Amino acid sequence: MTTASTPDVLAVESQHVLQTYRRQPVVFERGEGTRLFDDHGRAYLDFVSGIGVASLGHANPAIAKALADQATRLVHTSNVYFHPLQGELAAKLSARTGLERAFFCNSGTEAVEACLKVARRFWFTRGETTRTKYVAFSHAFHGRTMGSLSATWDEHYRAPFEPLIPGVTFASTTDPASLESLVDDSTAAVIVEPIQGEGGVRPIPPALASAITAACRRSGALLIADEVQTGCGRTGAFLASPALGLSPDLVALGKALGAGFPVGAAMVSHDVAAAVSAGDHGTTYGGNLLACRAALTFLDELDRGVLAAIPRLSAHLFARLGELAARHPAAIVEVRGAGLMAGLECASDATPIVASALERGLLVNRTSVTVVRLLPAYIVSEADIDEAVAILDQVFSEGART
Ligand SMILES: *Cc1c(COP(=O)(O)O)cnc(C)c1O
């Protein structure tokens, strides 16, 4: 292994990697639990977790052991053949989500894409070929492929790639009554994130959740819950939808599911699954042995007390963040979120906050311009939370002085 210095890494990247990211100027080489170590050996407390992906912390021993063991046995065979792990993982996810069948893929956007396609396939099978539309919401983020991008709200992501797929309308999350006219018998599905993650950690208001349920019942439209960020325990429950009274027909999962290994899944109800036949959808990599082994190990760890600890950790996190906001009322407008998913709505662009936290050894990230997002690993400790909030307190105190 070569150990290039930071400027070399940045120089090579800037010349040869397609410049689609605005990266923080730090090169990480190693991780352990909630800590990351840069190329100078400096430790950082990680409250980004690879955007909610490293759910069991970095270099988790159970995940490392399982992946190493599986890699010596069998990694990939394609979906042309059976292997022992896909059905086992599907059964376990079915038990946790109440949705009978799983389609495995490699990312969140692919899980959303599968949900969008399967929803259309459902109506096509039923002969309702004019039911092709989707209703999504303001501030929604569903991914970057053409289908999921079509249901993503932000013009900044959409405009350079238009025309996107037609027939997607966006309801305002603050106007539940608008669903009455927007959702009708041409709507294949309504798609919603229980807490909008990339859109700024915005929980769906209960009145909107009720209106979604009512609109789907009235029109027959399917409900897709995009739980790529909120799912797999992030909010303390395996899914965030039930707490809102939502009963989705399809659920997209990703991020935390592979604990760092790329795994996505579209969970599909019995009725919807019955409309799908061989050849309708597919993937080369999806659900290979290594991916399934990672996800199975992740689910085992949830059962070993990881999930049960989240309500306690969450209460601690939101109590500390509430105190922080009370100390900096001019800078922090609102604290939002649930479980181990938190957003600080700031009075201005959060870029300097994120940069200052990085300098002080804390990783947080900015979303929706003014929001500082915290997505710690599920194995975070109360001491880690205290340390992170103490650093944020310094950052906001510093900001108030300048
Ligand atoms: C991250 C995210 C996606 C996209 O997942 P990728 O793995 O980046 O493709 C889709 N939906 C939601 C709600 C997400 O948070």
Distance CA 155, CA 247 (A): 29
pLDDT of residue 117: 98
Residue 331 belongs to some domain of the structure: yes
Which tens digits make up the pLDDT trace of 343-385?
999 999 999 999 999 999 999 999 999 999 999 999 999 999 9
Do both 176 and 48 map to the same domain? no
Report which DSSP code applies to 205.
P
pLDDT attached to residue 397: 97
* Residue where one domain finishes, among candidates 301, 334, 349: 301
pLDDT-derived band at 3 (thresholds 50, 70, 90) equals low
Give the CATH number, domain containing residue 222.
3.40.640.10
Q: What separation in Å is there between the alpha carbon of 258 and the centre of ligand 1? A: 14
pLDDT tens string 157-190: 999 999 999 999 999 999 999 999 999 999 999 9
- The number of domains in the chain is 2
Secondary structure E strands in 89-151: 101-105, 133-137
Same domain as 89, residue 45:
no
Residue 310 in tokens: 């989240």
Q: Which of 112, 149, 228, 261, when mutated, tests ligand 1's pocket best, judged by the most ligand atoms within 8 Å of its CB? A: 228
| Same domain, yes or no: 73 and 51 | no
pLDDT per position as a tens digit, 266-291: 999 999 999 999 999 999 999 999 99
157 and 217 within one domain:
yes
Q: In this structure, are residues 238 and 307 in contact, taking their beta carbons and an 8 Å threshold? A: yes
Question: Coil, strand, or helix at residue 2?
Answer: coil
41 shares its domain with 151: no
Domain presence at residue 1: no
Q: Does one domain contain both 190 and 126?
A: yes
Same domain, 272 and 129: yes
pLDDT at residue 1, as a whole number: 45
Backbone angles phi, psi at 65, to 5 degrees: -65, -45
Query: Residue 400 pLDDT more than 80?
Result: no
Using a 6 Å cutoff on CB, does residue 262 contact ligand 1? no
Residue 7 in this model has a pLDDT that exceeds 90: no
CA–chain centroid gap for 94, Å, is: 19
Distance CA 127, CA 123 (A): 6
> Ligand 1 mean position to 229 CA, how many Å?
7
* Ligand 1 center to 4 CA (angstroms): 31
Q: Which domain holds residue 384?
A: 6-60+307-401
Q: Are residues 41 and 141 in the same domain?
A: no
- Ligand 1 geometric centre to CA of 145 (Å): 10
Q: What is the mean pLDDT of residues 6-27?
A: 92
- pLDDT band at 6; cut points 50, 70, 90: confident
pLDDT score of 5: 72
Least Cα distance to 289 among 79, 63, 55 occurs for 79
24: domain CATH number? 3.90.1150.10
> Is residue 155 located within the same domain as residue 52?
no
* Residues 143 and 283 both lie in one domain: yes
End-to-end CA distance of the chain: 43
User: How far is 360 from 378, CA to CA, in rounded Å?
Assistant: 22
pLDDT at residue 267, as a whole number: 98
pTM, rounded to two decimals: 0.97
**67 and 158 together in one domain:** yes
Domain boundary among 285, 301, 317: 301
Label residue 402 by pLDDT band (50, 70, 90). Answer: low
- Torsion over CA of 208, 210, 211 and 214, rounded to 10 degrees? 160
- Average pLDDT estimate for 116-126: 98
| Domain end point (choices 235, 268, 301) | 301
Question: Which ligand 1 atom sits closest to the C-alpha of 110?
Answer: 9
The single residue listed with the structure tokens 């870029």 is: 351
Clarify whether residues 127 and 160 are in a common domain: yes
